[in-house]
Chain A
Amino acid sequence: MKRRQLIVLVAAVAVATLLPAAVARAGDVIAPGPDANEDIQEALILAEAGAVVELGEGTFELALPLSLARDGVTVRGQGIGKTVLSFAKQETGSEGFLVTGSGCTLEAFTVADTKGDGIKVKGANGITLRQVRAEWTAGPKTENGGYGLYPVECKNVLVDGCSARGASDAGIYVGQSENVIIRGCRVEENVAGIEVENSNHVDVHGNTATKNTGGILVFDLPDLPRQGGGHVRVFDNDVKDNDTPNFAAKGNIVALVPRGTGLLIMANRNVEVFENRIGGHPTTNVLISSYLTTGREIKDPKYYPFPEGIHIHDNEYGACGSEPDGELGKIVAGIAGLPLPSIVWDGVVNPEVAVEGALPHDRRLVITEKVEDPGKFFINLDLLTAMRDPKAAKPSRDLAPHEGEREPLTPAKVPGAE
C-alpha cells in the first residue's frame, strides 16, 4: 500500500510542522481577528518563563477573559490606545485579565469595558504593570466594573506609568499586599483614583489623580484575612479637582467617600504624606478618619480602627471645602462651618492608648505645613463626642498638639523598580 504509506508520511510531516506553528505562539505577534481570543489564551497557557507574548496594534474584541498562570511571562502590546483589548462584548468572567503567575510583566496596552474588574493580579510574587490602561469608555457609571488595575495578596508590585478611568470602585487598587510602588500614573473619573488597602511598605508618588470622587485613599478595613496596613508614603502627587459625584454601588466602602475628597486616610499605621499638590476639592483636601466614623459595626476582634502615626508635611494646598458632600460632609460642615479647612481629622483616638486625651508622640497626627492662616487650615472635629453630645464636643483648630519631629519612613523596595 504505497499510496497509503505516503499519506501517512505526509500526514506525519504535516502534523509535525503544523502543530508547533499552531501552539508555539510566543515570539509571534498576535493580530486582532476572530481567532485572537483563543490565540492569546493559548499563548498565555503555553508560555515558558522568559517568553514574550506580543499583541499587535488594533482592537481585539474579546468575549472570553484572559488568564496568565505561568511565571516570568511578559505580555506586551504596541502602546496604550494602540493595542486595545475590548471586553465590550464579554460573555463571561469577572475580570478582563487575571494574572496568578509570579514575576510577570504586562505592558503597553489598554483593557477596555470589562464587565467586572479590568486586570486582576492575585497572589503573585512580583508583578509589573507598565504603561497599561484600564478604562470604561462611557465614563463614570455605576454599571462599570469595580477595579481597573487590581493587584491583591501580592508581594513586590510595580505599577508604573499606567492609567485608569471610569472604575466604579478604584482605578488603581492594591490590597493585602506588601512592597508596592505606584508611580507616574494618571487616574481620572473613578470613584477612588488610587486606593491602597490593608497593605504595607507602599510608595505612591508622581501620580496625577483628577476628577475622581476621591483622589487617593489609604485604607485599613476589617474582616479581611490580612490586616494592619501601614508604612505608606504618598508624595509628589498632583491631586486636583476630584469632584465627580460618587457613583459606587451602595454597600461598598467607597460609596461612603464624599465627592470632592483629595486624600483620605482611614485607620492605618504610619502614613507619610509630603510634597503633594492638593486642591480643588469641594469637600476637603485631606480627610483623616477612624473606621468608627463610617458608622459601620466592627465585628472583627483583630481589627484596629484608628489611624496612628500619620505625618503630613510640605504639601501645597489649593482651594477646598466650599461644598461638602453627603452625610459626613453635612456633619462636618455643621461643626466646622464653610469652607471646610484643608485638613479635617475626626479626632477619634483609641482611649486605651491616650493619656489625658492625647496620644503618645509616635501615634500622634503630626502636621508640618507652612500656611498663611493657620486658624483656617485644620480642624479636629472631636467627632465621637459630638455624636454623643454635641454640646460637650470640643472641636479644635489648634495645630500646636500636632507639632513635632518625626523620622521619615523608609522607601518601599521593589526589585527591578530602580
Chain B
Amino acid sequence: MTARPPRPRGRAALLIVGAAFVVAATASVALSAATARDDEPAAAPSPVVLDLEARPPKWLSAYRLFEGDGSDQRPSHGVTPYDVNTPLFSDYAAKHRFVWVPPGKSARYHAEEAFAFPVGTILIKTFAYPRDARDPRKGERLVETRLLIHHEDGWKGWPYIWNEEQTDARLKIAGGIREVAWIDAEGGEQSLRYIVPNANQCEGCHGQKPKLPEGVTPTPGPTKVKLVPIGPTARSLNRTLAYADGEANQLARWTERAILEGAPASEEAPRLAVWDDPETGSVEERARAWLEMNCAHCHNPRGPGNTTALDLRASQRDPLRFGVRKPPVAAGRGSGGRLHDIEPGDPDASIFVYRIGSTDPGIMMPELGRRLTHAEGLALVREWIRGMKDGE
C-alpha cells in the first residue's frame, strides 16, 4: 500500500528538506498502519481505540472502527450501523452511519432532542458514491468519513478524506475538494467536484446556542455555540433496519445493545415521515420532514440561521415561523425577486423553491453540503406549497 505523503508546503526553504522527509514520513505511516492491522485479531472485544486527551489521529484506521481497511465499511465489533427516516441531501452521496458508545455506558433517551450520549461516543458518517449504480458488485468510491466525538467539553468534528487506493482516510481539518465520478442508474456518466467541509464548518450545521428559558429575549454576543449531533433523535431513528441477523427497529436494537437507555416501545416514540415514502405521511408531513432534515439544523431558534426567526422544525405550528408569507430578512439576491418564503398555492413565487432549486453559492439553500439540486426533494416542497390554500 502507499499512503499519500503530506503535501510539501509553499515555502522555498522547506521544499528541499521537505522532499527528503516526505519519503521517510510515508514509510513511517505505512509501517505503523501495517503493524496495526497485522496485530489485530478480527473479533477482538471492543477493538475501537479512542484517546480523548490526544490530538485526533492523522489516519482513520487508528480508531479501528472498521473491519479490515474499512474500504467495504464493515463495522468493527461494537460499532453499530444506523439509518435515518429522512436524510440530509448530500449530492446523491450514499451515507454509511455508525455509532460507537464506550463499553458500559449508554445514551439517555430524549423524545425531542438528540439523545444524550456519554463522553467518548463516536458518531461516524461515511460519504460514498457507487462506481456503477447499475451494478452494486463494483462497489463504492469512499470520499470522506466524518467523525463527531464527544469530549468532556463537548462534541468535536473531524473530517477524514479517503485516499485514492481506498485503504485509509487522512485527517484534513481544512477540508478540500475531491473529484468524484460514477455511473448512474441509467448508465449516464456523472461527475462532481465534491466539497469536504472543514472542521469549522461543522458548526455551520451542528452548532447550537444554549437553550434559553421560555420568553427570554436573546441578547447579542457571547453565547458560545456548542456542537450537537443532528441525526440520532428518536423521530429520525424510529424505523427498521436490516441488520446482519435480520430486521429490527433501531430504537429496540439500540436498547438491546445497551447503546440507549430509557427509550419507550417504538410505537410510543415519535417518528418522522420518510420523505419519499407516501405510506409514512401526507405530502405536508413528508415535505416538513424533508425541510426539517435539510434546513432545520440552521433554521431553528438556537441554530446558526436563527437570525431571521425562520424555524423549519416539523414541530413548528406557526405558519409565519415556518415561512408562510414571511418576508426575507437578509436574503440579498437570494430572494430572487420573490416577496415571501412561501406563497401559498404558488411555488414559483416562493423563495423556498428558488433557493432550494439553486446551485449558486450566494443563493442556494442549504448553503453548505451540496452542489447539486435535490430535484426530488424540491418537487415535494413544490407539491406541498402548490396544495396550500390561500387562507393558510
Contacts and interface: CB of A to CB of B under 8 A. Distances in A.
A5 B24 CA distance: 12
Nearest to B17: A17
A123 B24 contact: no
A347 interface: no
Contacts of B223: 123
Nearest to A35: B10
Contact of B307 (A17, A100, A152): A152
Contacts of A114: 362
Given A69-B203, A224-B307, A146 B331 contact: yes
A74 interface: no
Interface stretch (A169-177, A306-314, A330-338): A169-177
Contacts of A78: none
A63 B174 CA distance: 13
Contacts of A224: 307-309, 329
A100 B221 CA distance: 10
B178 to A, nearest CB: 12
Interface in A216-230: 221, 223-226
A91 B24 contact: no
A114 to B, nearest CB: 7
Closest 8 CB pairs of A and B: A146-B332, A155-B221, A11-B28, A251-B335, A125-B222, A115-B362, A94-B367, A115-B361
B6 A63 contact: no
Residue among B20, B337, B351 with the most chain A CB within 10 A? B337
Residue among B175, B328, B362 with the most chain A CB within 10 A? B362
A296 interface: yes
B332 A116 contact: yes
B387 interface: no
A15 B31 contact: no
Nearest to A143: B333
Nearest to B369: A92
Contacts, number: 217
Residue among B9, B363, B368 with the most chain A CB within 10 A? B9
Interface string B322-347: 00011111111111111110000000
Contacts of A64: 175-177, 195, 198
B6 A7 contact: no
A391 interface: no
Interface in A313-340: none
Contact of B361 (A90, A147, A223): A90
B282 interface: no
A31 interface: yes
Nearest to A146: B332
A93 B27 contact: no
A140 B374 CA distance: 32
Given A94-B361, A224-B307, A35 B9 contact: yes
Interface string A13-53: 11101110110000010010101111101101110000000
Contact of B174 (A45, A100, A123, A124): A45
